[in-house]
Each structure stands twice: as structure tokens, then as C-alpha cells.
């Protein structure tokens, strides 16, 4: 119940924070008219249909296939007018005052972004406007109580266009493509962002980045601890928080049930050599004769009822965690 209340408070806070951020974003937004990978681009040479072209950027970012041009035209992260001006300059050697119109016909081929992990509804997103992390979390129904407190964003290289001066973008992208091969081999070329959920809730701007095409956003899940046996009210899986003790874990499972054997609690701990069995006497803990036992991730705590037989072999926990097996099968949502 307490976890559900915390989740509701987090969801409400994110909603309010997102509304405020969206209002400011509307007042300071930039047109998203840059050419991206996957865009269907149309080049119309007015009055000369034989030079017209339609297609997508090649892997190097150029409009491949424009006929009779001496040099290829770079299109990645440039706007339609800028590309049209360069094409007109190239064709001026063949045509008199060529008029060139460049249009992005279809943006649906842009790479999708992914959001999964400890969220209500893992989804793919086709982003057509600026959107921040907190708004994306709201669209996915908010964070679940399985969240560990951290969000990880993996940003592949060159799948989106930064919001900066167009000439600087072109020069920087060309330079990076020429010089980054060795760095990509060492690092994989992707950027990794680690964000604390608490910082996001506090309104820290750096913890609420814009989500770009191709971003892989994971709300990391906490490692589990399992509370089982007829001696607890609600046997369940709980999150492995710092300093999670046996007494706190049993309380998280609803406390002791009737006829619980508080002197006979067993912790099963997985180790490389097998399963370690640890017997705990809670009466001794409560009387101060021994410290409360601190649990580790994947521990199994079994509370039996009085008179029951002690388990001879460690329990086998079968858990359907609902994890997404294939992110490309998640539902796709268009953000316009």
C-alpha cells in the first residue's frame, strides 16, 4: 500500500512538472525541419524533370544519386533551403538560373526511441517534436514500484540532429565522421546518460534531458528479495533496498501470520558454490542477543508455521517478471 501511494505521488509530481516544462518549451521551441536518416526527401528542379530526385540519405549522410553533379550533396542535419541552395549551385554549370525545391515528404522512417523497464507501459516512440524525459515517462503511465531509483539512456551516434547552428552542425558532423572511427571502436560510439529519479523529481534540468530519435531509455529495476512461507500474511517479491533486514522484509510482506514460527526463519542465499542456508531466531534479534540480519539481492526468506517440517532442499523461485523480450514488438506511439 505504501509503495502504491509513493508511486501515485511520483506520477502526480511528474504530471505537474511536465505541464510546466511543456509550456516553457512551446515558448522557446525551434522548428524541426532538419533532414534526418530515414526521411524521404524530394528534389524538384523546376522545369527540368530529368534532374528530379527522390530518396533517403545514404549511410554517409549524402543525397546519393543526383545526376550530373561533380560533388555529392551532404544532407544530414541540414534544412531544406540549405540543401536546395547547394544543389542549385551544382546545377548552375548545366542549367541557367536553376530553381530547386527540396522537401521532406515523409518523416516516419526516422529511428524510434524506446522506453522500457520499471514503467507501466513499455513503448516505442516516433518523435516528431521536442519531448523531455519526464513527459515520456508520463506517456508510459509513470514509474512502477519496481524502480531502483535510476534511469539509463543510451544514445547511439548520428541518429538525430542537435539543436545548434546549422553550419556548425554540418562542419562538426563531417569532422566527427572523418576522425571518430578509432573512438567508435573503443567506446561503441554511443553516449551513456545515468539519471537519478530523485534529481528528476527535484526539478534538476540536467536530469530531464530531451529524448532524441534512437534513444534507448531504461528505468532500471531494483534487484529482488523473495519472502515465502505460510508464516507471513502476503508472501511476495520485494525490492532489495540498502540495509534491508529480515524484520523489515517480513513487515513489507504484511508481517507474521497466525501460528508463524518466529524462532525458525531460514534465509537461502545463492553463492557460486551453491546455496547457503542461514537460520535466524527473531526472538534473539528482538531481545538484542543478535543483530538483525541484513539481506542481499536474490535472497529467499522463508517463514514457516509452528509444527511444520523444515525444508530439506532450497526452494526454486519461478517468477514471471513481465520483462520485454523483444523491444521491437512493443507498441509504437507517435509524438506530434
- Residue 320 scores a pLDDT above 80: no
For residue 53, pLDDT over 90 is answered with yes
Phi, psi of 188 (to 5 degrees): 85, -5
Model confidence at 84: pLDDT above 50: yes
In three-state secondary structure terms, 117 is: strand
The set of residues, in sequence order, having a beta carbon less than 8 Å from that of 39 and lying 6+ positions away, is 56, 57, 104, 106, 107, 109, 110
- Average pLDDT of the chain, as a whole number: 81
CATH class (in words) of the domain with range 40-106: alpha beta
Give the three-state DSSP class for 182: helix
| Total residues belonging to the chain | 336
Evaluate if pTM is beyond 0.75. Answer: no
Residue with the bigger pLDDT between 17 and 139: it is 139
Report pLDDT digits (tens) over 93-128.
888 899 999 999 998 888 899 999 999 999 999 988
Q: What pLDDT sits at residue 11? A: 58
Provide CATH code, domain 224-305. 3.10.560.10
Domains 2-32+110-222+325-335 and 224-305 share a fold: yes
- Locate 253 and state its grid cell: 510482506
The fold for domain 2-32+110-222+325-335 equals Outer membrane lipoprotein wza fold like (3.10.560)
147-200 residue pLDDT tens: 888 999 998 876 767 654 444 444 444 444 444 333 433 345 678 999 999 999
DSSP state of 271: E
> In the prediction, which pLDDT does 184 show?
38
Domain ranges of the chain: 2-32+110-222+325-335, 40-106, 224-305
Per cent of the chain over pLDDT 90 is: 38
What is the residue-wise DSSP string for 124-141? EEEE-S--BHHHHHHHTT
Amino acid at each position: 500500500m505504501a509503495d502504491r501511494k509513493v508511486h501515485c505521488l511520483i506520477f502526480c509530481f511528474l504530471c505537474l512538472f511536465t505541464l510546466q516544462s511543456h509550456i516553457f518549451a512551446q515558448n522557446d521551441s525551434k522548428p524541426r525541419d532538419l533532414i534526418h536518416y530515414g526521411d524521404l526527401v524530394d528534389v524538384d528542379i523546376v522545369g527540368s524533370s530529368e534532374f528530379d530526385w527522390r530518396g533517403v540519405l545514404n549511410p554517409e549522410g549524402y543525397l546519393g544519386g543526383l545526376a550530373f553533379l561533380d560533388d555529392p550533396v551532404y544532407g544530414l542535419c541540414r534544412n531544406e533551403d540549405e540543401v536546395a541552395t547547394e544543389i542549385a549551385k551544382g546545377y548552375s554549370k548545366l542549367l541557367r538560373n536553376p530553381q530547386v525545391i527540396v522537401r521532406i515528404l515523409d518523416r516516419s522512417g526516422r529511428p524510434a526511441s524506446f522506453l522500457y523497464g520499471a514503467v507501466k507501459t513499455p513503448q516505442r516512440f516516433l518523435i516528431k517534436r521536442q519531448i523531455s524525459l519526464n513527459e515520456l515517462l508520463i506517456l508510459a503511465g509513470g514509474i512502477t514500484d519496481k524502480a531502483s531509483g535510476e534511469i539509463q539512456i543510451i544514445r547511439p551516434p548520428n541518429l538525430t540532429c542537435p539543436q545548434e547552428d546549422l553550419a556548425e552542425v554540418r562542419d562538426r558532423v563531417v569532422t566527427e565522421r572523418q576522425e571518430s572511427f578509432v573512438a567508435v571502436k573503443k567506446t561503441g560510439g554511443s553516449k551513456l546518460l545515468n539519471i537519478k529519479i530523485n534529481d528528476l523529481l527535484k526539478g534538476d534540468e540536467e536530469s530531464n534531458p530531451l529524448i532524441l530519435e534512437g534513444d534507448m531509455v531504461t528505468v532500471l529495476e531494483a534487484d529482488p528479495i523473495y519472502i515465502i512461507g505460510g508464516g507471513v500474511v502476503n508472501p511476495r517479491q520485494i525490492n532489495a533496498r540498502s540495509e534491508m533486514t529480515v524484520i523489515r522484509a517480513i513487515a513489507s510482506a504484511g508481517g507474521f501470520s497466525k501460528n508463524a514460527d518466529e524462532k525458525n526463519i531460514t534465509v537461502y542465499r545463492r553463492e557460486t558454490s551453491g546455496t547457503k542456508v542461514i537460520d535466524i531466531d527473531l526472538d534473539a534479534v528482538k531481545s538484542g542477543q543478535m543483530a538483525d540480519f541484513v539481506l542481499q539481492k536474490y535472497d529467499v526468506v522463508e517463514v514457516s508455521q509452528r509444527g511444520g517440517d523444515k525444508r530439506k532442499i532450497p526452494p526454486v523461485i519461478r517468477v514471471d517478471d513481465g520483462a520485454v523480450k523483444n523491444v521491437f514488438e512493443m507498441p509504437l506511439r507517435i509524438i506530434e
